[in-house]
Amino acid sequence: MAKNSQSRIVALLLTVFNPRKLFYTVLVLLGVIIVTFFIRPPGDPARVLLGQRADSASVQNMRVQLGLDKPLYTQIGMYIYNIVRHGDLGKSIATQRSVRETIEERLPATALLAVSSILIATILGVILGVIASWRANSWVDSLTMSTSLLGISLPAFVVGLLFVLVFGVVLEWFPNSGYIDRGWEHLVLPMVTLAIRPLSIIARVTRSSMLDVLGQDYVRTARAKGLSSIRVFMKHALRNALNPVVTTVSAWFAGLLAGTYFIEFIFNWPGIGLAAFSAIEKLDYPMIQGVVLLTAIVFVIVNAASDVIYSLLDPKVRVS
């Protein structure tokens, strides 16, 4: 009895901390850091930063300061070492501040925007998808599906601009830009804008997954047993239809983060994306590297985590 529960715990631990998967995740993260290292302006970054008229002495100085005088493999090694050992992402060239500090300072704003958007998108998306599948091929269904096609087809920044125009300028319902320190109403437009695209996708995935499940034998059996159709719909169908939705939501999270950066840029929302995109103009590449790296790491971790959750939920995927 005790042995049985012990082996169960071991199996559970192996599922969560599967050594092979962990090792692979580390390998991927290493690759991600190396790719990020190469995000720098073409040619000699020191020359680019100082301008064409800078004298060679100050360019040389800058090269030493940025570590560009060392061979490439040393630079990559140093970059990886600093990140892994100290979490050090380097210094912003424009502000001379630590990139990590800037990111830590601005991360709450980005997280607030991203998390509130994905919550809204998930809740509304599932509801809309279920309604559309409840009355498949009705006008509600067609309306939801065609609107969601529009939502998928428009990039977030265009939706954002249109919302600014309609709700900010013409109707004057919500403020166009700024952060919640000036009131929560500042969150509304950026949040809704960001939610449109994932909402459309979640609604579509929920609908097609629901239709799939509704066609299965066990749903027919449940109906044949005489269960009320709303009960069959909610208990038997929806539960099983949610799996692909969970996958979609987790897969969308990183894409959503990237979208967040554009939204921050439009609404002047003081998150890490605004910092990164403002850095592009000044070719302040350590700042860009930091934000890109952070996004990729979040993506890798979210993916690994959803993998674990998946295997915990589904006995078929569990390691034997």
Partner 1 sequence: MKQSKIVVDTPSRQAWRRLRKNPGALIGMIVLTTMIFMAVAAPLITPFSPTVQILEYSVKPAGFSGKILYKKNSANPDQPSIIAVESFSEVGDSVHYTDPAGQPYVIPTSMLQGANKDEWSAEPTFLLGTDRFGRDMFTRLVYGMRISLSVGLISESIALIIGIILGSLAGYFRGGVDDVIMWLVNVVWSFPTILLVVAFSVILGKGYWQTFVAIGISSWVDIARIVRGQFFSIREQEYIEATRAMGFGTVRTIFRHMLPNAAGPIIVLATAGFATAIIAEASLSFIGLGVQPPTPSWGQMIKDGYGYIALGTNWGMTLFPSIAMAIAVISLNLFGDGLRDAFDPKTSQR
Interacting residues with partner 1 (CB under 8 A): 27-28, 31-32, 35-36, 38-42, 136-137, 149-150, 152-155, 157-158, 161-162, 164-165, 168-170, 176, 207-208, 211, 254-255, 257-259, 261-262, 265-266, 277, 280-281, 283, 285, 288, 292, 295-296, 299-300, 303
Are 187 and 113 within 8 A, CB to CB? Answer: yes
User: Least CB distance from residue 32 to partner 1, whole Å?
Assistant: 5
What tokens were used for 38? 């190469």
User: Least CB distance from residue 2 to partner 1, whole Å?
Assistant: 40
Three-state secondary-structure class, residue 245? helix
User: Least CB distance from residue 231 to partner 1, whole Å?
Assistant: 23
Identify which of residues 107 and 280 has a Cβ nearer to partner 1 in the complex.
Answer: 280
Three-state secondary-structure class, residue 98? strand
User: Least CB distance from residue 170 to partner 1, whole Å?
Assistant: 8
Cβ-in-10-Å burial (0-12, 13-18, 19+) of 246 comes to middle
Identify which of residues 269 and 285 has a Cβ nearer to partner 1 in the complex.
Answer: 285
User: Least CB distance from residue 135 to partner 1, whole Å?
Assistant: 13
Report d(CA 145, CA 135) in Å as an integer: 12
Q: Which residues pair with 98 in a beta bridge?
A: 91
Identify which of residues 61 and 306 has a Cβ nearer to partner 1 in the complex.
Answer: 306
Are 234 and 228 within 8 A, CB to CB? Answer: no
Identify which of residues 33 and 109 has a Cβ nearer to partner 1 in the complex.
Answer: 33
Identify which of residues 4 and 137 has a Cβ nearer to partner 1 in the complex.
Answer: 137
Are 256 and 201 within 8 A, CB to CB? Answer: no
Report d(CA 112, CA 109) in Å as an integer: 5
User: Least CB distance from residue 255 to partner 1, whole Å?
Assistant: 5
- Nearest one of 307, 140, 118 to 207, comparing CA atoms: 140
Identify which of residues 61 and 247 has a Cβ nearer to partner 1 in the complex.
Answer: 247
